[in-house]
């Protein structure tokens, strides 16, 4: 594994004073952070903290009420999602992104052709266009042996790997991963996030991800930012976040019963704290 990306490197993503409200709910409330190339930055917080809203403001699905989102200096605010995708912001693990009846290789070939603006040239199942490139990507995610299987026949964890290959086919500079391991068993979660970390380090891609398993977050994130009720309450390396009093308060709570995610996070944080 290569070294942790330098904190002094030029930021790939700069989010400044981001705000988004729904009626009276301040879903994202004055959030600022930066991310450098090759970095795996975890965005954590209880259910409803504003994580997905933050993602949606970055990739153009929502327009923020206020603030800046700069990708290598280019302001993304106000641009449609398709344009933001073309500028190099990928989003992974939307299940609809794979075609169950097509083979694993064909799914990745389509993504490569789409990225190259050649989708109109696709002329059927026998196409060899971009096949070598597709196989190379499948090799990178450990799925070359499955290249000619229909996607619909794959195990859930393998579909996630295909989605990762599809995301990489678009040549992203920044990958947004909103709960990429949802529904996966603990061992699969570790394998997938470990794989992502290796690949993005090699390629210098920045990753912003959310993850409810604190075990996975503490194991793989280079840095962590913590949201609670839309506010950024902590930011730092995993060891610092683990010891942060405010973060413990949010996860363990002093007043109420934690929600489902809070309970999951609390149990994991308790285990993590026990190991500290
Ligand atoms: N489209 C919407 N309309 C109205 N309220 C919304 C909308 N999207 C999100 N919210 C509200 O904004 C707040 C933040 O929601 P968000 O989905 O960003 O949280 P989250 O951190 O992603 O939660 P989870 O861990 O459950 O995915 C919540 O109070 C939510 O109810
Ligand atoms: Mg969410």
Tokens standing for 227?
A: 């949201």
In this prediction, residue 212 carries a pLDDT of: 85
Q: Is 50 in the pocket of ligand 1 (CB under 6 A)?
A: yes
Q: Which residues surround ligand 2, an ion (CB under 5 A)?
A: 51-52
Whose alpha carbon is nearest atom 11 of ligand 1? 27
Per-residue pLDDT tens digits for 135-153:
999 999 999 999 999 998 9
pLDDT confidence bin for 4, thresholds 50/70/90: low
Q: Which atom of ligand 1 is nearest to the CA of 50?
A: 18
Distance, CA of 210 to CA of 70 (rounded, Å): 20
Q: Is 53 in the pocket of ligand 1 (CB under 6 A)?
A: yes
Per-residue pLDDT tens digits for 107-128:
999 889 888 887 776 666 547 8
Q: What is the mean pLDDT of residues 239-262?
A: 69
The string of DSSP letters for 187-224 reads HHHHHHHHHHHHHHHHHT-EEEEE-S-HHHHHHH-SEE
Nearest to 18 by CA among 45, 48, 55, 43: 55
Q: For the chain, what percent of residues have pLDDT higher than 70?
A: 83
In this prediction, residue 266 carries a pLDDT of: 45
Distance, CA of 213 to CA of 189 (rounded, Å): 9
Q: What is the mean pLDDT of residues 30-46?
A: 96
Q: Which ligand is nearest to the CA of 43?
A: 1
Using alpha carbons only, how large is the chain's radius of gyration in Å?
19
The DSSP output letter for 255 is: S
Question: Which residue is it, tokens 């153009």?
Answer: 60
| Mean pLDDT, all residues of the chain | 86
Phi then psi dihedrals of residue 176, to 5 deg: -105, 125
Q: Which of 21, 25, 176, 250 to mutate to test the pocket of ligand 1 (most atoms within 8 A of CB)?
A: 25
Q: What is the pTM of this model?
A: 0.86
Decide if pLDDT at 245 tops 50: yes
Decide if pLDDT at 276 tops 60: no
Distance, CA of 148 to CA of 157 (rounded, Å): 17
Q: Which residues of 199-235 are buried (b: 16+ CB within 10 A; e: fewer)?
A: bbbeeebbbbbbbbbbbbbbebbbbbbbbbebebbbb
Decide if pLDDT at 85 tops 60: yes
- If one counts every other C-beta atom within 10 angstroms of the C-beta of residue 85, the result is 17
Higher pLDDT, 276 or 156: 156
Decide if pLDDT at 257 tops 70: no
Query: For the chain, first and last CA: distance in Å?
Result: 23
In this prediction, residue 249 carries a pLDDT of: 87
In this prediction, residue 250 carries a pLDDT of: 84
> Coil, strand or helix: which one is 29?
strand
- The answer to whether 190 and 135 have CB atoms below 8 angstroms apart is no
**174 strand-pairing partners:** 89, 206
In this prediction, residue 271 carries a pLDDT of: 46
């Amino acid at each position: 594994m290569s070294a942790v990306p330098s904190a002094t490197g030029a930021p790939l993503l700069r989010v400044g004073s981001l705000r988004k409200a729904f009626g009276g709910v301040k879903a994202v409330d004055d959030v600022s952070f930066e991310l450098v190339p090759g970095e795996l930055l975890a965005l954590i917080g209880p259910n409803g903290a504003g994580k997905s809203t933050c993602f949606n403001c970055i990739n153009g699905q929502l327009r923020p009420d206020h603030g800046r989102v700069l990708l290598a200096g280019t302001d993304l605010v106000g641009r449609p999602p398709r344009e933001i995708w073309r500028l190099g912001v990928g989003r992974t693990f939307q299940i609809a992104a794979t075609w169950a009846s097509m083979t694993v290789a064909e799914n990745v070939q389509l993504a490569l052709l789409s990225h190259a603006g050649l989708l109109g040239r696709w002329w059927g199942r026998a196409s060899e266009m971009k096949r070598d490139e597709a196989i190379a990507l499948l090799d990178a995610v450990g799925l070359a042996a499955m290249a000619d299987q229909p996607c619909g026949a794959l195990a859930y964890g393998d579909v996630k790997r295909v989605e990762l290959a599809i995301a990489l086919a678009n040549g992203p500079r920044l990958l947004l991963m909103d709960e990429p391991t949802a529904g996966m068993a603990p061992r699969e979660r570790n394998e997938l996030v470990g794989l992502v970390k290796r690949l993005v380090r090699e390629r210098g891609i920045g990753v912003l991800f959310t993850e409810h398993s604190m075990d996975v977050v503490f194991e793989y994130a280079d840095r962590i930012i913590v949201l609670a009720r839309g506010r950024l309450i902590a930011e730092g390396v995993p060891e610092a976040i683990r010891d942060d009093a405010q973060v413990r308060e949010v996860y363990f709570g002093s007043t109420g019963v934690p929600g489902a995610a809070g309970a999951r996070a609390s149990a994991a944080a308790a285990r993590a704290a026990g190991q500290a």
